[in-house]
Structure 1
């Protein structure tokens, strides 16, 4: 980056020197000796200011435009050749374009307006000469280029912000899926341990061991999430339907019968579809433990129909108030599902209970 800037400055400085020499020769030939001094001096000063613009673009632009405006007035009142000359015009174009591209909007507007005033002044005193036209064309090109660069930067920042927002949402989903599921299991086992402690004290240690195991799983899951944040090389392993069977087995241990209807063989679904299926079932079962712990049975059905995967999780709890206070879990699931072109519906069943239904296409929409 520094080498590129240095090279650009060297090229710019060389162009200014060439233009200063060319302009001095033309003025001395056409107007006579000493008429080139004002143009050469002011052009060199503005060129030097342009080279120093990166230290303070606002002050550099104001200084360059002020010198140019004063030069125009001096040339007009003293009857000198039209200003700004070619060298100063190039420097002003760089200052205006740079200011419009990078300065705050109010300051960028002032710089653009100042450049326009100088260009119009040059046209007015030029009486149709080519110098005024060159300055006007330079202002138009500089302003257009500055606006284009500014728009590009705005789009880049917007894209970066969208990426950061997507990363935050994805992180929130992962944290919710991991933390909510494991902590819910710990809470459920702790509640069971209190009952076991009162009724069968001999099994109290076994209940505590289950809580310890659930806590260890939660810690390991959190470490995996942290690993994803700390390194780009760490990626989550592929999810499988066997994990749903293990999940159902853990729920069975807590007294809630899980009826599983899964494909007999491990399907070759895309990884993102498989992960979403597992997350839907995991979140739905977690919600059952939270809001319908008294449900007698819970049915989990995952089937493939043509090019669509259908997921249904239903419970038979007599009372379910989840629809009154929706949490972030279903919101995150809906975002996951819709990102893959699928649909999600959740609500009370006819009679009693709650159902979550998801449809996921195996092929992206075209």
Structure 2
């Protein structure tokens, strides 16, 4: 039995005991003041509504309607037969539970109808008290009216509170799902764009040198095979995280693997100069992952949009609690290159850096080439 089931059973046991105690007290009070068997009618009504309240989880709408019908009939019978006014306290308690349960869970129209039915019962009790129907003193009938009114008000308030909390939970869950979808989109873009770009570049190189330099063509094909294997492994890591967040391998590498990243891009014909601080391993995982992704996306953009670039400088530094990442290439600064660089890659990088309280800029350099620069806090506790 899960925690939710235990809580439900505990709540029903408490409700049953509370209603039983209320029935005993009410029956004793009626028997002491009225004598005879006058307590039987109120006890029977209270028991029926209590059983409906205990069965409410099977169908909250119909049990609430049945409870209201029983209460309305009890008001009518008590008035016509000269019995104590109903619903008594022992009936008003489980009836309030039925109303609260229906208001908190049913669709809006059904919830409003149940609440209106409860108010109709309260009005019927008030009319019965004002008209003098039944055999209770007017003061006792007025007190009973107030009791039913307060029970109805508490039920509606509790049901409304449940609806509001449930709406907030749904909104939070939807926001989490939306964030997860964005995160998945960024991960897929990072993984697929990086590896597929390498495959495409090396395939183009193999076509160019295949006839004249077979040895270099074989090297390019080997690089394509390696990039394909890396892409498959990265996709498996991502799927592993989606299947089991606790056991899946990390989908993103940290700065300690930047050298491998630079070497892979160097095999595509670019000279990548890398500078990383010695204490990069002490950064939080989200910082190291973001640094790696910024560098990977920037190198991917160079390979994709600046094939004429021959040198790329990657500098990762830390100063005054801030980590700076700068990727600069020597490719030509042409307008077409500028317009093509504002895709999902830069959007994803900006979102990642902004999530840690940092900033990212990207654009052409005055003396040629392209620059991507990011600054983020070395400790994630500094995010805003």
Supply the distance in 2 between the matched residues of 1:82 and 1:313 (Cα, whole angstroms). Answer: 83
Q: Is the 8 A contact 1:295 1:318 kept in 2?
A: no
Q: Is 1:249 equivalent to 2:273 in the alignment?
A: no
Q: What do you get for the CA RMSD once the two structures are aligned? A: 2.4
Match of 1:290 in 2: 304
Q: Which secondary structure does the structure 1 equivalent of 2:210 belong to?
A: helix
User: What TM-score do you get using the length of structure 2 for normalisation?
Assistant: 0.86
Supply the distance in 1 between the matched residues of 2:201 and 2:362 (Cα, whole angstroms). Answer: 23
Match of 2:272 among 258, 267, 274: 258
Q: Is 1:346 equivalent to 2:359 in the alignment?
A: no
Match of 2:78 among 75, 83, 86: 75
- What is the number of residues matched between the two proteins? 366
Supply the distance in 1 between the matched residues of 2:372 and 2:109 (Cα, whole angstroms). Answer: 53
Q: Is the 8 A contact 1:123 1:136 kept in 2?
A: no
Q: Is 1:144 equivalent to 2:157 in the alignment?
A: yes
Cα deviation, 1:149-186, whole Å, max 9, x if unaligned, reads 22222222333333333333222222221121111111
Supply the distance in 1 between the matched residues of 2:13 and 2:215 (Cα, whole angstroms). Answer: 86
User: What TM-score do you get using the length of structure 1 for normalisation?
Assistant: 0.90
Match of 1:323 in 2: 339
Supply the distance in 2 between the matched residues of 1:19 and 1:265 (Cα, whole angstroms). Answer: 70
Q: Residues 248 and 49 of structure 1: is their aligned pair in 2 closer, same or farther, counting only changes over 3 Å?
A: same
1:324, distance to aligned residue in structure 2 (A): 4.8
Cα deviation, 1:307-361, whole Å, max 9, x if unaligned, reads 1111112233242435357322212111111111001122233354332111111
Match of 1:110 in 2: 113
Q: Is 1:281 equivalent to 2:289 in the alignment?
A: no
Q: Which secondary structure does the structure 2 equivalent of 1:134 belong to?
A: helix
Supply the distance in 2 between the matched residues of 1:296 and 1:338 (Cα, whole angstroms). Answer: 31
Flag structure 2 segments of 5+ consecutive residues without an equivalent.
Answer: 130-137
Supply the distance in 2 between the matched residues of 1:351 and 1:113 (Cα, whole angstroms). Answer: 75
Q: Residues 212 and 289 of structure 1: is their aligned pair in 2 closer, same or farther, counting only changes over 3 Å?
A: same
Match of 2:16 in 1: 13
Q: Residues 322 and 71 of structure 1: is their aligned pair in 2 closer, same or farther, counting only changes over 3 Å?
A: farther
Q: Is the 8 A contact 2:365 2:371 kept in 1?
A: yes
Q: Which secondary structure does the structure 1 equivalent of 2:317 belong to?
A: strand
Q: Is the 8 A contact 2:22 2:89 kept in 1?
A: yes
Match of 2:214 in 1: 201
Counterparts of residues 182-193 of structure 1 (less than 5 Å): 182-193=195-206
1:105, distance to aligned residue in structure 2 (A): 1.8
Deviates further, 161-170 or 289-298: 161-170
Supply the distance in 1 between the matched residues of 2:170 and 2:101 (Cα, whole angstroms). Answer: 18
Supply the distance in 2 between the matched residues of 1:253 and 1:38 (Cα, whole angstroms). Answer: 91
Supply the distance in 2 between the matched residues of 1:141 and 1:228 (Cα, whole angstroms). Answer: 46
Supply the distance in 1 between the matched residues of 2:194 and 2:62 (Cα, whole angstroms). Answer: 58
Deviates further, 260-269 or 180-189: 260-269
